[in-house]
Each structure stands twice: as structure tokens, then as C-alpha cells.
Amino acid sequence: MIKGFVFDLDGVITDTAKYHFQAWKEMAAKELNIVVTPELNEHLKGVSRMDSLDVILRAGGKEQDYTQEQKVALATEKNDLYKKLISHMTAADILPGINDFLTDLQQNDYPISVASASFNAPVIIERLGLSYILDKIVDPGTLHHGKPDPEIFEKAADLIGTPYAETVGLEDATAGIAGIKAAGMFAVGIGPKSKLPAADINFDQTGDISLTAIERAFDR
Ligand code: B16
Ligand code: MG
């Protein structure tokens, strides 16, 4: 039986990927002379801030050019740009269907927590007006490994006290689905089967999510 749900943030609850993209693009053009293309941006989804910077430096053939201290400064510059962009977010930025789905979960007494790699997750959730329901958030500062490691999903389930085998995880990124499966949980993929083949059930977009369909698929 399903006991609880753990949510990824970016790509499931709201689309912050476009703001990450804009901030990386601006910083990389100004400081690194590297163009962050939409294709490269795909490789940054679900990846931690410092790992994202490494992906960008590698793509530009500059992975050896910066000290750790310089890299922290570059990541901070990107984060300052990002924070300005997300400061304008409102409840209108919640992805379609998510409000109804969260209400459904609440009415069915399912506990919920958030498994996001983002240090900005609490601020974003507050801006979206969802703190009343998404108040259990894993602190990414406590993690030893990023997705696809199961650690973040295990910590999210621990926050709500649900056994991993009876916890459902929602994700839009391949690494996230891999992490959910590695934790022994049931994986809901936001994206088609062709993009997220390892998910236990797929919804093409958030507007298609159905609690009944998830419960049915879980019990099969
Ligand atoms: P921050 P998720 C991830 O969020 C983003 O997908 C990824 O692009 C970002 O680098 C990462 O959070 C860290 O975010 O710089 O705000 O700490 O998909 O795990 O909700
Ligand atoms: Mg995501």
C-alpha cells in the first residue's frame, strides 16, 4: 500500500529550469566565454550547482582553468542572478495540475516531502504559496551524493517516516528516476516513456497526473 509521496521540485512542481538556464547562460557568456546551449542545459537538470558548473566548463574545454575558490565565486555569481529571477515567482508558476494533485493527496492523508537538489527550494516553495503543504524539505547541504544516488529520496522518505517500498517518488529527470528506483521506491515519471523508460508509470505532463492511476499501477 502507498504510504507517502516524495516530490522533485524543478520540472515537477514548477519550471525553474528556464531560470537556471538564463542565469548560467548570462554568467558563462560574461565570465567564461562559453555558450550554454539548450542542449547543454538539458544536462544540468537535477544536477547540483557545483556539478552543473563542471559540466559547463567541460563542455567549453576549460575544466582545468579554474581553482576551487574561483569556481565557488562563479557559482555564486550564477546563483545571485538566479535568485533575482526567482524573486518574481508567484503561485501562477505552479505547473498545471499540481495544485489539484496536492489537494487530492492531502484529502487522502498521504504525507508529502520534497527531494530537490536546490538550496533555493524553500524560497521557491514559499514564493509559490505552497509552504502550507510542502513544509518537509530535504536539506541538500546534508547530502553526500547527488542524484542518481538514492540518498536524497531516502532522506525525503525518512522525513515523513514512510518505508521506501511504500513510497512514491515523482521526477522529470533520468537521474532522478534512477535515484527513486535505487531507493526501492515506485517511480512516477513526468515525461513520456521514450524519455523516462525506467519509470513505473509515466505522465506526459503534470496536467495528466492522476492519483487513481498511480494507486492502480502501484497495486498491479
Ligand atoms: P541550486 P531539482 C535542481 O533542482 C535543478 O534541476 C538543477 O538545475 C540545479 O542546479 C539544482 O537543483 C541545484 O539548484 O543552484 O538552486 O541549489 O530538479 O532537484 O528540484
Ligand atoms: Mg527535476
> ipTM of the predicted structure?
0.94
Say how many Å lie between the CA of residue 18 and the centre of ligand 2.
12
- Nearest ligand 1 atom to the CA of 140 is 17
Query: Which residues, including other chains, have CB under 8 Å from residue 198's CB and lie 6 or more apart?
Result: 174, 177, 178, 181, 187, 189
- Give the gyration radius of the chain's Cα atoms: 17
For a mutational test of ligand 1's pocket, the pick from 49, 123, 174, i.e. the residue with the most ligand atoms closer than 8 A to its C-beta, is 49
Between the two ends of the chain, the Cα-to-Cα distance in Å is 11
Pocket test for ligand 1, best of 19, 20, 42 (most atoms within 8 A of CB): 20
Look at the pTM and tell me if it is higher than 0.80.
Answer: yes
- Hey, is 128 helix, strand or coil? coil
Q: What is the mean pLDDT of residues 156-175?
A: 97
Give the pLDDT band (50/70/90) at residue 190. Answer: very high
Closest ligand 1 atom to 44 CA: 8
Task: Report the nearest atom of ligand 1 relative to the CA of 51.
Answer: 10
Contacts of 180 (CB under 8 A, 6+ apart): 6, 150, 153, 169, 171, 186, 187
| pLDDT band, very low/low/confident/very high, at 6 (cuts 50, 70, 90) | very high
Q: 62 C-alpha vs ligand 2 centroid, how far in Å?
A: 27
Among all residues, which ones are annotated catalytic?
A: 8, 10
* Backbone φ, ψ for residue 152 (5° rounding): -65, -35
| Ligand 1 pocket list (CB less than 6 A) | 8-11, 20, 44-49, 52, 79, 116-120
Cis omega (within 30 of 0) on the bond before 163?
no
Q: How far apart (Å, rounded) are the C-alpha atoms in residues 82 and 133?
A: 24
Distance separating alpha carbons of residues 152 and 150, to the nearest angstrom:
6
| Closest ligand 1 atom number to CA of residue 121 | 16
Cis peptide before 148 (omega within 30 of 0): yes
Query: In the predicted model, is pLDDT for residue 46 greater than 90?
Result: no
User: In this structure, what C-alpha cell is assigned to residue 130?
Assistant: 505552497
For ligand 1, the distance from its centroid to the CA atom of residue 17, given in whole angstroms, is: 8
Q: Which of 84, 91, 100 is nearest to 125 (CA)?
A: 91
Residue 220: pLDDT over 90: no
Over the stretch 75-128, which tens digit does the pLDDT of each residue have? 999 999 999 999 999 999 999 999 999 999 999 999 999 999 999 999 999 999
For ligand 1, mutation pick of 16, 123, 127 (most atoms within 8 Å of CB) = 16
Distance 78 CA to ligand 1 centre (A): 12
Please give the distance, rounded to the nearest whole angstrom, from the Cα atom of residue 45 to the centre of ligand 1.
7
185-203 mean pLDDT:
97
For strand 167-171 and strand 112-114, is the pairing parallel, antiparallel, or unpaired? unpaired
Distance separating alpha carbons of residues 3 and 112, to the nearest angstrom: 10
